[in-house]
Chain A
Amino acid sequence: MLTIFLSRLLRMVIVMLGISVITFLIFFATPGSDPAARIAGRNAAPETIAAVRHDFGLDRPLYVQYGLMMDRLFITRDLTSFANRGQKIVPTIMSAAPATLSLVAGAAILWMALGATTGIIAAAFRNRLPDKILMGASMMAVAMPVFWVGEMINLVTQSRLHDTWAFSWVPPLGYVPLTSDPAGWFFALVFPWICLALMYIGLYGRMLRTGIIETYQEDYIRTARSKGLSARRVLLKHATRTAIIPIVIMFGMDFGVLVGGAAVLTEVVFGINGVGRLTYQALKALDLPMIMATVLYASFFVVVANAIVDVLCVMIDPRMRQK
């Protein structure tokens, strides 16, 4: 067990190293684009570009540039934005993280609960009306762009029906920190949670349904039924337990990706000042170091989430220990 854990840790570090190199190369060595000119912003004077080039060490060899950048990101943590002068990048990202975490964690609880319910009910009523309705709704949920759903939610709750009894409690767009006002935090996040969770409910529901139906072909299910266990017990205790493993793996990936900033669209539509919106604003200001830092932060989150999921799977499923 310990060796599995340690080898996974080592692999995680190697992957992170590789990711940092790839990210660095995308931003600073893409052929045909001059990073100094990008950092300096639109219509910058040649002197400014030269100053940027010297400041970021872009006149040195590539591996020195890489070393300098990693040093300023992870060791001294004093990388500053050029577009927003004086703004330190690492602390800015850290202060945006709680908003993103609040959004994603709440949505995750919602989508895991409703996704599992959808999948189990659909599998139990396979090819009958409840199954067809649920799968049709899931397909719709997967087909809608998340930011469009957000816009439509805003249209109804903030404008068209805001003055009616149904939605008058919806606070204006934005994020309220949990520590300052727990109730305000909750109410402000209700619709962002629903918006973000919708697609995943559809996705996970469909996946779980397929998984359960496939496990029903296995011999141990037949054995369980012939032992005289009730259909309900076999569905919930035997089939679902096996079918949920790929869902757990996918959940780890999705959660990591979203906390890392893939919730950018939801954050932008609902005005939540998280990591994703930070990336969006950096994008508008062409703040290259900030974007690079958020992308790195995001991918590290995914790598850590994957490693945790792998270790969890080994703990849940003894079959994986053999490898």
Chain B
Amino acid sequence: MTSVSTDKLPPSPIGEGVSAPDGPWKRLLAGLLSSPTAVLSGIGLILILIAVLLAPLYANHVAHTDPFRSGLSAKIEVEGKTVPVMQRSTEGLGLGVTPIGPTWSGEYMLGADTQGRDVMARMLYGGRSSLLIAAASTVLTLALAAIIGVAAGYTGGLVDGVLSNLIDMMWAFPVYLLAISLSIVMIGKTFVLGPIELSSSSLIIPITIIGLVYVPYVARPVRGRVMTIKNSEFVLAARGLGVRRHRILMRHILPNVLSTLIVFAPMLTALNIVTESALSFLSVGVQAPNASWGTILQDGQSLLYSRPTVALAPGIAIMVTVLLLNLFGDVLRDVLDPKSARGR
């Protein structure tokens, strides 16, 4: 491969008076850094990530509790008085117990759930599961969609016919119902597939399910993109020069598909966080003893009228994270796909 000297090429068309940094990654980074929205939402997301990663530290040194063990008989000190975590109900017949409300101090900052567990500590651990599931299933979706989309778009013919029709059919399934169907066959007893054994509390099950259901939504645009690139002049030129098929695929098609995939990543992660919470709310997502923002929301439903903080907190956490991801994703799309930003 002979290197092409760049000094004979016309100036970059990116913008007048803007010297474009060399390399697509640097250009991407520069584009993101020049947008206050992207920088602020990026910082916000990193802060959330740090907070959930510090969950064990918080549980051990601030809340002094194990958020996965029920603490029905626990007692804590509030304003100098010792009070039980599960308080005897003062309304009605005085039967039953209500978990303690928010103390706004280290222990039981957001109160306790029906099991007497520290909600704030569970929020941090749950955030870990929620974010892990969302990120991992995004990677899974993008990988599968890239394989299917490139195979269908680049090969064409019969392969394309079969795959495209399959994508169309999967498209007709409502996402939540498809996810429910998949979870009901995978959750319940231990799922055995050859050498793989998954217990029902394994996070791999929700990751797989959420990763699978959105594949058609990404595979279709990827296929379209591949078809466009395949027939573009620079690929035709490469073919005319006798470049082999797999080299065209690796050097010309894949790098161009990559930007499509990157644009999808933050939006898909945001969507996956919401999907995870919905599935956990319907009790087919994350299974006990694991926690996620969705399971905490479900715990909070029975306490909605007496201790609304339990449902309020994970909802706000989901909303903020999804909002930041979408804001970041919007800027990312505009940087990678200048056409969509044209009208702004």
Interface residues of B in 169-218 (CB under 8 A from A): 169-170, 172-178, 180-182, 184-186, 188-189, 191-194
Q: Are A145 and B174 CB-contacts (below 8 A) given A26-B185, A140-B319?
A: no
Q: In the complex the two chains form, is A295's CB within 8 Å of B284's CB?
A: no
Q: Which 3 A-B pairs have the closest CB atoms?
A: A213-B343, A148-B315, A32-B193
A144: chain B residues at CB < 8 Å are 315, 318-319
Pick the residue among A213, A216, A261 that contacts B177 (CB under 8 A): A261
Interface segment, one of A82-90, A151-159, A189-197: A151-159
Interface residues of A in 190-226 (CB under 8 A from B): 210, 213-214, 216-217
A295 CA / B169 CA spacing, docked (Å):
13
Contact with B along A138-166 (1 / 0, CB 8 A): 01101111111001101100110000000
A18: chain B residues at CB < 8 Å are 165-166, 169
Task: Indicate if A286 sits at the interface (CB-CB under 8 A).
Answer: yes
CB distance from A191 to the nearest CB of B (A): 15
B327: chain A residues at CB < 8 Å are 139
Q: In the complex the two chains form, is A283's CB within 8 Å of B173's CB?
A: no
B177: chain A residues at CB < 8 Å are 260-262, 264, 279, 294-295, 298-299
A299 CA / B283 CA spacing, docked (Å):
22
Task: Indicate if B86 sits at the interface (CB-CB under 8 A).
Answer: no
A35 CA / B185 CA spacing, docked (Å):
8
CB distance from B88 to the nearest CB of A (A): 21
Residues of A within 8 A of B (CB): 15, 18-19, 22-23, 26-27, 30-33, 35, 37-38, 42, 127, 139-140, 142-148, 151-152, 154-155, 158-159, 210, 213-214, 216-217, 257, 260-262, 264-265, 268, 279-280, 283-284, 286, 288, 291-292, 294-295, 298-299, 302-303, 306
A304 to chain B: closest residue by CB = B172
B180 to chain A: closest residue by CB = A283
Task: Indicate if B326 sits at the interface (CB-CB under 8 A).
Answer: yes
Task: Indicate if B342 sits at the interface (CB-CB under 8 A).
Answer: yes
Task: Indicate if B108 sits at the interface (CB-CB under 8 A).
Answer: no
CB distance from A32 to the nearest CB of B (A): 4
Interface residues of B in 310-344 (CB under 8 A from A): 311-312, 314-315, 318-320, 322-323, 326-327, 340, 342-344
Interface segment, one of B151-159, B229-237, B273-281: B273-281
Contact with A along B127-169 (1 / 0, CB 8 A): 0000000000000000000000000000000000000011011
Task: Indicate if B282 sits at the interface (CB-CB under 8 A).
Answer: yes
Q: In the complex the two chains form, is A38's CB within 8 Å of B181's CB?
A: no
Q: In the complex the two chains form, is A298's CB within 8 Å of B278's CB?
A: no
Pick the residue among A143, A279, A283, A284 that contacts B322 (CB under 8 A): A143
B168 to chain A: closest residue by CB = A15
CB distance from B191 to the nearest CB of A (A): 5
Q: In the complex the two chains form, is A302's CB within 8 Å of B174's CB?
A: yes
B291: chain A residues at CB < 8 Å are none
Task: Indicate if B290 sits at the interface (CB-CB under 8 A).
Answer: no
A294 to chain B: closest residue by CB = B177
B282: chain A residues at CB < 8 Å are 264-265, 268, 280, 283
Q: In the complex the two chains form, is B311's CB within 8 Å of A151's CB?
A: yes
Task: Indicate if B243 sits at the interface (CB-CB under 8 A).
Answer: no
Contact with A along B259-293 (1 / 0, CB 8 A): 00000000000100010011001111000000000
Q: Besides the contacts A15-B165, A299-B174, what 15 more A-B pairs have beta carbons closer than 8 Å?
A: A15-B168, A22-B169, A26-B182, A143-B320, A147-B297, A148-B297, A151-B311, A155-B311, A158-B305, A159-B304, A216-B343, A261-B174, A265-B176, A283-B184, A298-B173
Q: In the complex the two chains form, is A145's CB within 8 Å of B277's CB?
A: yes
Q: Are A154 and B304 CB-contacts (below 8 A) given A279-B177, A283-B282?
A: yes
A2 CA / B304 CA spacing, docked (Å):
55
Q: In the complex the two chains form, is A32's CB within 8 Å of B192's CB?
A: yes
A139: chain B residues at CB < 8 Å are 323, 326-327
Q: In the complex the two chains form, is B326's CB within 8 Å of A143's CB?
A: yes
Q: List 23 A-B contacts (CB under 8 A).
A: A19-B173, A22-B169, A23-B173, A31-B193, A32-B193, A32-B194, A33-B186, A42-B188, A139-B323, A143-B322, A144-B315, A145-B278, A145-B315, A148-B318, A148-B319, A155-B304, A213-B344, A261-B174, A283-B282, A284-B283, A295-B177, A295-B178, A298-B173
A291: chain B residues at CB < 8 Å are 180-181, 184
B319: chain A residues at CB < 8 Å are 140, 143-145, 148
Q: Are A262 and B174 CB-contacts (below 8 A) given A33-B191, A38-B184, A217-B342?
A: yes
A201 CA / B71 CA spacing, docked (Å):
43
Q: In the complex the two chains form, is A292's CB within 8 Å of B174's CB?
A: no
B320: chain A residues at CB < 8 Å are 143
B173: chain A residues at CB < 8 Å are 19, 22-23, 295, 298-299, 302
